[in-house]
Amino acid sequence: MSDATLHDAQPTKRSLHQIDARTKRRNAAESRFKMLGIGAIGIGIAFLIILLSTIVVNGASAFQQSFLEVPVYLDPAKLDKKGNRDPADLKKATTFTYAPLIEKGLLDAVQSAGIETPLSKTKDMKNLISSSAAAQLRDRVLADPSLIGQTVTAKILASSRVDGYLKGRVHRAEIAQDKNITVEQLDLADALIKAGILHKSFNLDFILGSDASDSRAEQAGIGVSMLGSFYMMLVVLVLALPIGVAASIYLEEFAPKNRFTDLIEVNISNLAAVPSIVFGILGLAVFIQFAHLPQSAPLVGGLVLTLMTLPTIIISTRAALKAVPPSIRDAALGIGASKMQATFHHVLPLAMPGILTGTIIGLAQALGETAPLLLIGMVGFIATNAPDGFWDGFVSPNSAMPAQIYEWAKRADPAFYERAWGGIIILLIFLLGMNIIAIILRRKFERRW
Amino acid sequence: MKSVKLAVSAIAIVAATGTTAFARDNIQVAGSSTVLPYASIVAEAFGENFDYPTPVVESGGSSSGLKRFCEGVGENTIDVANASRKIKDKEIATCAENGVTDIMEVRIGYDGIVFASQKDGPAFDAFDPSDIYNALGAKVMKDGQLVDNTYAKWNEFNAALPDADIIAFIPGTKHGTREVFEEKVLEAGCEATGAMEAYVASGMDEKAAAKECMKVRTDGKAVDIDGDYTETLARIGSNPNGIGVFGLAFYENNTDKLKVATMSGVTPSTETIASGDYPVSRPLFFYVKKAHIGQIPGLKEYAEFFVSDDMAGADGPLAQYGLVSDPELAQTQEAVAAETTMNSGM
């Protein structure tokens, strides 16, 4: 607009060094726009910082866990009533037999450390100890029955309340109504820290472990659901990449341009915009109810996510193929290559960086997806058993990282909340890693003409 | 070309693993999100103490769990449905149509429903069902007349209650908890305030009057929460005057943020619910497909383990988490051991 009126203006004699009013206005408009742009970027960065710092502040504590070092006397009279150390008989001693032994062990440790506390019964120790400790000790004894009769030092998890106290989540003033911990037990926890029995350390089990039930937040880990995500991504990669690339090569290089291919093209673009939950319902109907694939299996999850990722891969692959200049095809055809040779020997290799970038971004999208998994039974208390062997991983029930985070966020014990944030950190690291790989691939292999 | 061949063979491998018959060796459970924590505690301990894999427990609500339960018999259907209410006749009929005829009903204990508010909020310490009805019912008694509910503050109908705006977060209609809330609180309050009588006097039969009683005011003072208790907790956290409906177990895990109100003078706890003094409670169940016992390894052991004294007993981990243990647990144990089904005279 201003350009058009510029020429109509009366030319007056003026030095170029003197800025006239109109130029001033234009310059002002430009600097205003610059400021707006900088402001927009600033707001974006501020939100990013707020988001990331919230995630880190809330989630970092999930990587630390409180442990107790307790000497436990493995009483043969309780664990091996027949005295024959027969594994079949040893298995009959359930975790309910082991729990009191650990409580006794902790009480003995408290008394021998000379800590003064009004808590003098073995049962008083229960709230300090994670209920996972019994199973941990039982597994150890079953693996090595010769331990029975000895006093072993067990590194066991402290309960989620004690852990919360050490992390500043549980306060003395607020636990009057809490039946899972008492003020005396917190006092004892303080004394145990001084005595070196209770301490906080890095918790590898959060990254590698399996999900735990609602009563033992301290034991829950994201490892098994990470495996579930891995298997799903494998299925997506193995299916979506070849199908997507084949479809785009055909559409781009071989298919005749007519109404029918136009229709297909429009539909692919539409599919990319379909909400992911729709693919979940489709997966439930087709893969589980019709094809009778197992529920909660990463195989089915991967198939559903494949459907979701295909349009993304097809669209980006076609864009990459389009970006290869026609002169390369013409040159190949001109020296006698067949259309297929021209495509596979020349066009496809040149388009590969773009295809890979699109695939990785599609995978990253699929990795963060929860909604379709709700419908095929992958959300709940599921990620408990690591698969036996590689192939079993496809069909044995499992969850996925985002589904696990969602599940934790809705559980009652506030300790799970911290783990949900911790899970988000791990998920973000994965997404960041995938995006970095995509960028590196693009930088390294991309060619410009 | 090589990459194409590779891709084709990869598809073939995946397809082959997909079509092989699945000898499922893990128990699959789905249903009520109220029962989910208990079922997950049992499943975890079951996996630790037995040679079977840990059962898979999904949530989704009592109704969706029973729907999937009734889809049929076979490895591709779930073995156990958790429910926070009794199975309905209609659902039994659907089950029967699909070949699920022998259903074992197992009652695991009771769950209390509590009214709680922000710890530092107004002193909501004691409610009667009539207070809740006056605050939330669609129509209330005012000067002997049944009129649309216009109460804005709690002390307008009960001077003992604080001078605070009425705002309540109640479970949405898809929750099993809503039914208990309607029957044990709204209907009871409706009767106590005389609104029920007024409905009947206006020419309704008892059933229609009860239905009217369960209607909740729609002017935004009663908010349906379709999500979980965590959502209710978040809403209460940002609203000092808010009253929320929670399960006892959830409240007990969040006593640092919530304070609970008594109902008809009784403080909710596992003891008062077990004794029947606290009025708002309900039984929790799970349903087992008998046809799957023997087919799915460990299914019967899981059911027996669930109701064993070690788990569901008064000192067991379930009670520790907030379940009110069933005084008639021994009978339930016997019934499970004998694989008693619903139609064989229970």
Evaluate if residue B22 carries a pLDDT over 80: no
Quick one: CA dihedral A221, A223, A224, A228, positive or negative? positive
Give the closest residue to A173 by CA, choosing from B255, B261, B267: B255
Which range is least confidently modeled, A79-83, A123-127, B10-14? B10-14
B295, two tokens = 């087919």
Which of the listed CATH numbers 3.30.465.10, 1.20.272.10, 3.40.50.10860, 1.10.3720.10 matches domain A223-445? 1.10.3720.10
Q: Could you tell me if B125 and B86 lie in one domain?
A: no
pLDDT at B7 over 50: no
Residue B8: pLDDT band (50, 70, 90) is very low
B330 pLDDT exceeds 80? Answer: yes
d(CA B296, CA A259): 53
Q: Is there a contact between B78 and B30 (Cβ–Cβ < 8 Å)?
A: yes
Q: Is the pLDDT of residue B344 over 60?
A: no
* Structural domain boundaries enclosing B213: 112-281
pLDDT band per the 50, 70, 90 thresholds, residue B23: low
Give Cα A382 distance to the centre of its chain: 15
pLDDT at residue A1 is higher than 60: no
B-proximal residues of A, 340-359, CB under 8 Å: 344
Q: Does the residue B12 lie in any domain? A: no
Q: Is B227:B59 a contact under the CB 8 Å cutoff?
A: no
Helices A401-409, A223-249: axis angle to 10 degrees equals 140
Same domain, B231 and B316: no
pLDDT classification of A9: cutoffs 50, 70, 90: low
Helix axes A223-249, A348-367, angle to 10 degrees: 140
pLDDT-derived band at B183 (thresholds 50, 70, 90) equals confident
Residue A363 to residue B34: CA distance in whole angstroms: 34
B268: closest chain A residue by CA: A177
Positive or negative, the CA dihedral B194, B114, B326, B91 is positive
pLDDT at residue number B211: 87
B60 and B149 together in one domain: no
Task: State yes or no: pLDDT of B3 exceeds 60.
Answer: no
Pair B229, B311 in one domain:
no
Q: Do A177 and B259 touch (CB under 8 A)?
A: yes
Residue of A nearest to B269 (CA): A179
Q: Is residue B343 part of a domain?
A: no
Residues 6+ apart with CB under 8 A from A320: A351, A352, A353, A354, A355, A358
> Residue A174: closest CA among chain B residues belongs to which residue?
B256
DSSP H helices, A60-179, are 76-79, 87-90, 95-112, 132-143, 160-166
Interface of A with B in 70-99 (CB under 8 A): 91, 94-96
Last residue of a domain, one of B234, B262, B281: B281
Q: Cα A76 to chain center, whole Å?
A: 44
Mean pLDDT of chain A: 89
Contact B230 A410 (CB under 8 A): yes
B47·A394 Cβ contact <8 A: no
Kindly state whether residue B5 falls inside one of the protein's structural domains: no
Alpha helices, DSSP H only, in A370-413? 371-375, 392-395, 401-409
The answer to whether residues B105 and B118 belong to one domain is no
Using the beta-carbon criterion (under 8 Å), do A395 and B321 form an inter-chain contact? no
Q: Is the pLDDT of residue A252 over 60?
A: yes
Task: Please tell me the predicted confidence (pLDDT) of residue A230.
Answer: 93
pLDDT tens-digit series, residues A24-34: 999 999 999 99
Q: Could you tell me if B43 and B180 lie in one domain?
A: no
pLDDT at A402: 94
Q: Based on the fold, state whether residues B144 and B81 are members of the same structural domain.
A: no
A347: pLDDT confidence band, cut at 50, 70 and 90?
Answer: very high
Q: Please indicate if any CB of chain B lies within 8 Å of the CB of A411.
A: yes
Pair B131, B140: CB distance under 8 Å: no
Do both B250 and B314 map to the same domain? no
Say what the pLDDT of residue A8 is. 56
Please tell me the predicted confidence (pLDDT) of residue B315.
Answer: 84
CB contact under 8 A, B28 and A397: yes
Higher pLDDT, A290 or B14: A290
pTM (two decimals): 0.84
Give the CATH number, domain containing residue B27: 3.40.190.10
Same domain, B57 and B180: no
DSSP-based three-state secondary structure for A117: coil
What pLDDT is attached to residue B16? Answer: 43
Residue A4, pLDDT > 70, answer no
Question: Does the beta carbon of B256 lie under 8 angstroms from any beta carbon of chain A?
Answer: yes
Mean per-residue pLDDT for B81-97?
90
| Amino acid A119: pLDDT | 85
Whole-angstrom distance, CA of residue A55 vs CA of residue A418: 10
pLDDT of residue B14: 46
pLDDT of residue A391: 87
Instruction: Please list every residue in chain B whose beta carbon sits closer than 8 Å to the beta carbon of residue A234.
Output: none
Task: Specify whether B102 is located in the same domain as B124.
Answer: no
- CB contacts, 8 Å: B171 with chain A: none
Pick A294's closest partner by Cβ from B22, B45, B253: B22
> For chain B, what is the HEC assignment?
CHHHHHHHHHHHHHHHHHHCCCCCCCCEEEECCCCHHHHHHHHHHHHHHCCCCCCEEECCCHHHHHHHHCCCCCCCCCCEEEECCCCCHHHHHHHHHCCCCCEEEEEEEEEEEEEEEECCCCCCCEECHHHHHHHHECEEEECCEEEECCCCEHHHCCCCCCCCECCEEEECCCCHHHHHHHHHHHHHHHHHHCHHHHHHHCCCCHHHHHHHHCCECCCCCEEEECCCHHHHHHHHHCCCCCEEEEEHHHHHHCCCCEEECEECCECCCHHHHHCCCCCCEEEEEEEEEHHHECCECCHHHHHHHHCCHHHHCCCCHHHHHCCEECCCHHHHHHHHHCCCCCCCCC
CB count within 10 Å of CB A165 equals: 22
Kindly compute the dihedral angle of the four CA atoms of residues B202, B205, B207, B210, in this order, to the nearest 10 degrees. 20
- The domain boundary, picked from B247, B262, B281, lies at B281
**Is any Cβ of chain A less than 8 angstroms from the Cβ of B81?**
no
Name which residue leads in pLDDT, B279 or B18.
Answer: B279
Within this chain, do residues B141 and B232 fall inside the same structural domain, yes or no?
yes
> A231 to chain B: nearest residue by CA?
B14
Contact at 8 Å (CB) between B229 and A411? no
Residue of chain B whose alpha carbon sits nearest to that of A295 = B76
Tell me which residue in B36, B228, B253 faces A381 most closely, judged by beta carbons. Answer: B36
Cβ(A219)–Cβ(A205) under 8 Å?
Answer: yes
Backbone angles phi, psi at B108, to 5 degrees: -95, -20
Q: What percent of chain B has pLDDT over 90?
A: 26
- Whether B180 and B257 map to the same domain: the answer is yes
| Between B165 and A7, the higher pLDDT residue | B165
C-alpha distance from A71 to closest chain B C-alpha (Å): 22
Domain C-terminal end among B235, B252, B281:
B281
Residue B21: pLDDT over 50? no
Write out chain A residues lying below 8 Å of B298, CB-based: none
Mean of the per-residue pLDDT values of chain B: 85
Residue A121 contacts B, CB cutoff 8 Å = no
Helix (H) / strand (E) element for A66: namely strand A64-73
Question: ipTM score here?
Answer: 0.82
Q: What are phi and psi of B29, to 5 degrees?
A: -125, 140
Residues of chain A with CATH 1.10.3720.10: 223-445
Q: Which residue of A has its CA nearest to B2?
A: A344
Which uninterrupted H or E stretch holds A152?
strand A151-157
Distance from CA of A37 to the nearest CA of B (A): 35
Task: Please write the tens of the pLDDT for every residue from A440-449.
Answer: 888 888 776 6
Q: What is the structure's pLDDT at A10?
A: 61
Confirm whether B95 is domain-assigned.
yes
DSSP class of A345: I
Chain B residues close to A410, C-beta within 8 Å = 227-230
| Residue A158 bridge partners (DSSP) | A129
Contact A317, A245 (CB under 8 A): yes
Confidence of residue B6 (pLDDT cuts 50, 70, 90): very low
Q: Are B95 and B122 in contact (CB under 8 A)?
A: no
Residue B344, in any domain of the structure? no
Give the count of domains, chain B.
2
In a domain, B182, yes or no: yes
